[in-house]
Amino acid sequence: MRSKPTLPSEAALLELIATRFATRRRDVRIGVGDDAAVVRLGGDAVLTTDTLVEDVDFRATSDPHALGRKALAASLSDLAAMGAAPAFALLTLGLPRATPPAFLEGILDGFGEIAAEYQVAIVGGDLTSSATAFLSVTAVGRPAGLRVLTRSGASAGDVLFVSGTLGAAAGGLALLEAGYRVSSSGTLTNPAGRRLVAPPAADLVRLIRHQTSPRPMVELGQALAEGDTAPVASAAMDLSDGLARDLHRLCRASGCGAAVDLARLPVDSTLEELPAGIALEPRAAALFGGEDFGLLFTVPKKRLAAVERLAARFALRAIGEMTPGSSVVVRGGARTEPLPDAGFDHFESGEPDPAARTRKPR
């Protein structure tokens, strides 16, 4: 019996990675291959890190190309929320010895692809043998505007915005967990392996790709950090763990409350077209589903005109406003109710809402 291919030696892997991610950028003095990287920053640096772990954030059967893209996209989304321009990244890989080389190649291809899209130089990282596969990314950016955006700058009276639609990633995960798959050519198959060509198929593919290969809102983050005398946004963060949970975090950091209008939520319309048997309530997915990786931000009313100018380039929606006190509520018609601090949490034993399960392995 022919043995399955396994990873080569560490030296061979390091040479592969160093060759794959070699760069000639002037702000990279020493890149992959030495004990540490040496880069030119020329001012403040914005740093973030994110980790994806097998059976927590992905499965061994996940598409490695999409996994490589998502690993870097998650960190770039953090930089976007701070209004920073991406510059450098370090990748640490922990892989079982029996990992097929093609899986590693796919990760590197996807990681390098999104790095090229956002002009990110990959300057180092680490490589280790691990019983559980994981990818850990450190990304470095430079402030793009007058100052970095934070979660703590909102004030009562500021208007609350989100970018893009909400719940798409939750819908994509629901489809994957039900057995729907998208091929590299974009073909959608159902749990029985049959190809689907009905009109909703393209929208269902979009939901799955929103889950597996999100696009960080880097340009929007930089635009929100710019301004003549002050940034357009007063506070911002990315939507990684669900609107409800992330809004509570922003409110705590800013020392104020918020009121969200249910009628103004940009619930992804394709959630109404999910196949029979997939139980996902669209509004719950929009409120509690995670990993949409859009931006949640606040804008003082005197700077709303600047946001309107951005609306031609980005899908932005005002969904409520910041309020005095600490209450976070949702308004629907004549009713006002508390918005639970619910969503994804790595260490919570319970999940308050089914849509909060958007970080289960896929």
Q: Render pLDDT for 167-199 as a digit per residue (tens, 0 to 9).
A: 999 999 999 999 999 988 889 999 999 998 877
Q: Are 173 and 362 in contact (CB under 8 A)?
A: yes
Instruction: Give 103's contacts (C-beta < 8 A, 6+ positions apart).
Output: 64, 95
Q: Render pLDDT for 287-305 as a digit per residue (tens, 0 to 9).
A: 999 999 999 999 999 999 9
Rounded to two decimals, the pTM is 0.90
Which residues on adjacent β-strands are paired with residue 84?
143
Phi, psi of 17, deg, nearest 5: -65, -40
93: burial class by Cβ within 10 Å (0-12, 13-18, 19+)? buried
Q: How far apart are CA 282 and CA 200, in angstroms?
A: 16
**Mean pLDDT, residues 108-129:** 96
Q: Are 314 and 217 in contact (CB under 8 A)?
A: yes
Domains of the chain in start order, with CATH, are 10-143 (3.30.1330.10), 159-357 (3.90.650.10)
Q: What is the full DSSP assignment across 266-282?
A: -B-GGGGGPPTT----H
Residue-level pLDDT at 355: 45
Q: What does DSSP say about strands 121-129 and 84-95: parallel, antiparallel, or unpaired?
A: parallel
Cα angle for residues 46, 47, 50 (degrees, 5° grid): 140
Lowest mean pLDDT: which of 50-54, 274-278, 324-328, 350-354? 350-354
**Mean pLDDT, residues 124-130:** 94
Residue type, 129: S
DSSP state, residue 165: -
| Distances 119 to 2, 82, 89, 115, 229 between C-alpha atoms, Å | 42, 17, 10, 6, 28
